[in-house]
Amino acid sequence: MTINYRGTVPNKEEFYQLYETTGWNANGTFTKEDLFKAISNSWYLISVYNDEKLIAFGRIISDGVYQTFIGDMIVHPDYQNRGIGSKILNLLVEKCKESGIKWVQLSSARGKIDFYKKLGFQERPIDGPGMQKFI
């Protein structure tokens, strides 16, 4: 097994297959094209390959200075719990540091809070939570 971490946009089909492992698009809100356009517009991203197969992904959406969000952290179920998610998150945060970014936010999926806590992220204050609206 040869794991490579690359700062390049993955293939549309391969990304869609990886994304489907999360169940986040179970009701089909986003098409394959939507998701490819979305990731292509990232400020920075990491695609992880085992040989040439895409097995994990993570990205940053940022204005490069002030507002920065990490999203779409995905490790294929067959490759979870081997340190790959941590490595991606550390590479993304390192890229922010190199660029002088001082504040990084993310929304934790259910049940993943402890993963992010282990890597130094803190929950927002209870009276200042993240907010959302589907439109």
Decide if 6 contacts 15 (C-beta within 8 A): no
Give the whole-angstrom CA distance, residue 3 versus residue 57: 12
Residue 54 Cβ, how far from ligand COA at the closest point, in Å? 13
Of 17 and 108, nearer to ligand COA (C-beta) is 108
Other beta carbons less than 10 A from residue 37's beta carbon: 12
Look-up of token digits 């927002």: 124
> How many residues form the binding site for ligand COA (CB under 6 A)?
18
Q: Which of 16, 19, 44, 116 is catalytic?
A: 116
Q: From edge to edge, which strands make up the β-sheet containing 68-75?
A: 3-6, 44-50, 53-62, 68-75, 105-106
Residue of minimal CB distance from ligand COA?
85
Among 37, 53, 97, 118, binds ligand COA (CB under 6 A): 118
Binding mask of the shown chain, residues 82 to 111, with x at each position contacting ligand COA by CB under 6 A: xxxxx---------------------xx-x
Nearest CA to 93 among 85, 81, 83, 101? 101
Is 79 among the residues known to form the active site? no
- Each residue 48-87 as x (binds ligand COA by CB under 6 A) or -, in order, gives -------------------------xxx----xxxxxxx-
Q: Which residues are catalytic?
A: 116
